[in-house]
A = this chain, B = another copy of it.
Amino acid sequence: MTTQQVPGRRDPRLDRSRSAILSAAVALLAEGGVRAVTIEAVTSRSGVARSTLYRHFPTSTELLAAAFQELLPPLDPPVDGAPRDRLLRLVLAQAAQIEGAPSMAALVWMAAIGLSGTPDEGERTRLAALREHVVDTYRRPFDAVLADCLPGDPDVDFAAARLVGPLLFNALILRRPSDESFCARLVDDFLARR
């Protein structure tokens, strides 16, 4: 019997180069922000050739997206304690993450997805999917906690708007942290009105 490969098996070099690219991109992103994630910089830092990079990421934007995804850890929903407490802890965690530098950049950058500029159809689609995916990732813990806090039909989007929206406002508009008392008031007001 030959050493025939399993048909679904991929060329291992593909993974090697992809991860080299990604880790270089992530490092550059963490060090110098979005502006530093240049095709040139990534290739020269990762030792990967230009053409190889383009094989993996048709656009610099997609590379950036992947790097951001790598950099944004999902939140773990608090699982024990009173409902009000669990919600508060989740909101605090979300606030903390939003205020971190990479999240801030990612937030803004993702918010910018699909605003004017004219990327082609395909890219727009892929990016929209990425956005969806990230949003889902962050909605999930709220789903979990709210399902336990609220009886019946929890309108998660509305809840998220009321709970996370103000955090966004503080971070993006007022440029001030959302401290514990702020989050507590948010949560209590929210719970008081259903």
Contacts and interface: CB of A to CB of B under 8 A. Distances in A.
Interface of A: 32-36, 101, 104-105, 107-109, 111-112, 115-118, 131, 135, 157-158, 160-162, 164-170, 172-176, 182, 185-186, 189, 192-193
Nearest to A104: B115
A172 to B, nearest CB: 4
Q: Is the interface of A mostly helix, strand, loop or mixed?
A: helix
Give the top 4 A-B pairs by smallest Cβ distance, nearest first.
A33-B116, A165-B165, A165-B169, A165-B166
A32 B117 CA distance: 6
A112 B108 contact: yes
A128 to B, nearest CB: 9
Given A164-B169, A166-B166, A185-B158, A174 B135 contact: yes
Nearest to A171: B111
A108 B105 contact: no
22 contacts: A32-B117, A34-B116, A35-B118, A101-B116, A105-B116, A108-B115, A109-B112, A111-B172, A111-B173, A135-B173, A160-B169, A160-B173, A161-B169, A161-B174, A162-B162, A162-B166, A162-B186, A162-B189, A165-B166, A165-B170, A168-B172, A192-B192
Contacts of A162: 162, 166, 186, 189
Contact of A193 (B109, B157, B175, B193): B193
A101 B115 CA distance: 8
Given A105-B115, A111-B173, 11 more contacts: A35-B117, A104-B115, A105-B112, A111-B111, A131-B175, A135-B174, A158-B185, A161-B166, A161-B174, A165-B165, A168-B169
